[in-house]
Amino acid sequence: MLDGLMNGFSVVLQPMNFLILLSAVFIGFIGGALPGISGVILVVILLPVTYGMDSTTAFMLLTAIYASTVFSGLITAILYRAPGTPEAVMTSFDGYPMTQRGEAGKALGIGILSSAIGGLVGTIALIVFAPMLASVALKFSSPEFFALAVLGLTVVASLGGSLLLGLIGAMIGLFVASVGIDPMTGTLRYTFGNLNLAGGIQLIPIIVGMFAISEVLKRAQGNAPHTPIKKVKIRIFDMPVIRRIRLTLARSSILGVAIGTLPGIGASTAAMVSYSEAMRWSRHPKEFGKGVPEGIAAPEAANNAAAMGALVPLFALGIPGSGTTAVILGAFIMHGLQPGPSFMINNGDLIYAVFVGLLIVNLLILAFSKPFVAVLSRMLNIPYSALGPIIIICCVVGTYSVQNSMFDVWLMLGFGVMGFLLEKINFPLVAIILGVVLGPIAESEFRRSLGMSQGDPSIFFSRPISATLLCIAITVVTLAIIVPLIKYLRKRNARLGDAHQ
């Protein structure tokens, strides 16, 4: 393996290849920062360009773009609450409040560091454990995915604020996710004869609307005076902060890799589950959503680790773990390569060059993100009366470009108004997003599991992984109900006791 890696270094560090790698990082930075432009689109656009290259260079380019888009979605999520990619939506929950407090530099620093660490952990796991991780990932089938989604949803119980609002939010999310073609039977649900709804409501209009647009609407009311931030000082290596988030970083990176390797479950889900876990393990879970460093570190470490994790089944088995890796799989075939279980053995040189490329990309993110972010954050100086419309234009263009659909733009604006109104009553938007992302996984995997077992529900508890995950979920929910109940009863008894006296 070391031989292979040394070889990889010599390939990647050829001036031409290194230049391509650099430009890939830069393209990914820009694409990821624009809401709506995701890694999938960039890779598709650049695919024809790679036909002329030799396959090693081509896949270095594609995987480098993939890695850097996942990173750069965090910048606009933190600065303007406009997540550049769906993976970065969780980052805005704590990143943006920090920006509002004038701690944009600190928030960005945490985001950059967490991304790079998550990416490096993911890449190292990919290099060292790919075949092993892939065989573990195969143990996950529908019952396990269902259990994982349920466990993710239970975090609604530990969200700050009202439990009732959280539950309502999750239900709204589940409802939105149920629109479209029924994944199992093909029946049309809640489409009202509109073909645009038949495809379901996409994640991008929801996220862009609920977060970016609603924020612009809120600011337009002028209640919160805009304080132009003169200078954002990004501190990546801030020792007290690092000491605070190191456990979160370690947990989220490992969780991210693990979830990323599961076929069909992407970096967005990884970010969400890892945010939930960070909140669950935290000593002050109520602080989440108000701007805590862990709230940035958890999703960012996880989504970058998961992006690398998604390459594990692709390289080791020829199975794409996410949308972008599916496009990369298509590119392999176009380059005349044969993805499959013996791919890594047959194409060792290419694989090691790609591995080394990814390692370097994650270091480049650490090195080059600072000047790039500095340029973007300079826009904070612009008065909000000008910045707000610019954000809206970017959102409209970005949402339209996903599938050239004006319908999506209207949907996005609708979700913007909805998000704006819901936040007036302090509604936890995170609960809605949890429902939208995890709901479809829970629903269709539940039904698939029953299909696998011919309708026998014991399948969820006869398989060790799903049984464990479901038991944890049940315990969490029970505790969330019982602990407040006991507290309440104690208080009442105490009060009764007082009254007696």
Partner 1 sequence: MLDKYKLAAIGILGVSVAAVSGTTLASSEASDYPSGNIKALVAAGAGGGTDNFTRQVQPMLEKRLDTTVTVIDLPTASGAIAHQRTANNAPDGQTLDFASSTLITSLAAGQNPTGLDQLTPVARMQSDVMTLIVNPDKYENFQEFYDYAKNNPGEVVIGGTAAASPDKMAFLGFKDASGLEMNFIPYDEEGSVSSNVLSGNIDGMFGEISSILGYMESGKMKPILVFADKRLEDFPDIPTTVEKGWDLTDGNERGVFVNADTPEKTVAAIESALKDIYESDKYQDYASKVHLDYREGWMGSDAYRKELKADLKQYKRLLKNE
Return residues touching partner 1 (CB under 8 A): 40-41, 43-44, 47-48, 137-139, 141-142, 180-186, 188, 195-196, 198-200, 202, 263-264, 313, 317-321, 326-331, 333-334, 336, 338-343, 403-405, 444, 448, 451-452, 454
CA–CA dist 116, 456 (Å, integer): 44
Q: Which amino acid is at 106?
A: K
Give the nearer residue to partner 1 in terms of CB position, either 345 or 425.
345
43, 58, 114, 115 from 32: Cα distances, Å? 12, 20, 16, 13
Q: How far is the CB of 158 from partner 1 (least distance, A)?
A: 29
**Which C-beta is closer to partner 1: that of 176 or that of 327?**
327
Q: How far apart are CA 124 and CA 128, in angstroms?
A: 6
Q: By C-beta, is 363 or 452 nearer to partner 1?
A: 452
Place of tokens 């995170």: 430
Q: Give the single-character DSSP code of 463.
A: S
Least Å distance, CB 394 to partner 1, is: 21
Residue 313 exposure: Cα atoms within 13 Å on the Cβ side: 27
> Would you call 416 exposed, middle or buried from its count of C-beta atoms within 10 A (0-12, 13-18, 19+)?
buried
Residue whose C-alpha is closest to residue 393's, from 216, 220, 218? 216
Q: Which of 461, 500, 473 is nearest to 157 (CA)?
A: 473
User: Least distance to partner 1 from the beta carbon of 169, Å?
Assistant: 24
Q: Which is nearer to partner 1, 140 or 288 (CB)?
A: 140
- Of residues 105 and 321, the one with the C-beta less far from partner 1: 321
**Residue-wise burial string across 277-289, b where 16 or more C-beta atoms lie within 10 A, e elsewhere:** bbbbebeebeebb
Measured from the CB of residue 137, what is the shortest distance to partner 1 in angstroms? 7
Q: How far is the CB of 184 from partner 1 (least distance, A)?
A: 6
Give the residue with the Cβ less far from partner 1, 100 or 444: 444
Q: How far is the C-alpha of 240 from the C-alpha of 265, rounded, in Å?
A: 34
Q: Which is nearer to partner 1, 341 or 389 (CB)?
A: 341
Phi, psi of 7 (to 5 degrees): -60, -45
Nearer to partner 1, 277 or 445 (CB): 445
- Cβ neighbours for 428, distance < 8 A, ≥ 6 positions apart: 159, 160, 161, 165, 166, 169, 289
Question: Could you tell me the two tokens for 476?
Answer: 């969490």
- Is there a contact between 188 and 182 (Cβ–Cβ < 8 Å)? yes
Q: In whole angstroms, what is the distance from residue 273 CA to residue 296 CA?
A: 13
Q: At what angle do helices 293-309 and 267-281 cross, to 10 degrees?
A: 140
**Shortest Cβ 264–partner 1 spacing (Å):** 5
* Whole-angstrom distance, CA of residue 419 vs CA of residue 433: 11
Taking the complex as a whole, the smallest distance from the CB of residue 343 to partner 1 amounts, in Å, to 6
- Closest contact distance (angstroms) between CB of 399 and partner 1 is 14
- Least distance (Å) between residue 168 CB and partner 1: 27
CB of 407 to partner 1, least distance (A): 9
**CA dist., res. 25 & res. 22, Å (int):** 5
Based on CB atoms, which residue is closest to partner 1, 295 or 313? 313
Query: Which amino acid is residue 305, in one-letter code?
Result: A
- Between 452 and 489, whose beta carbon lies closer to partner 1? 452
Q: Distance between CA 264 and CA 207 in Å, rounded?
A: 20
> Smaller CB distance to partner 1: residue 164 or 195?
195
The least distance separating partner 1 from the CB of residue 455, rounded to whole angstroms, comes to 10
Helices 104-137/293-309 angle, 10° precision: 40
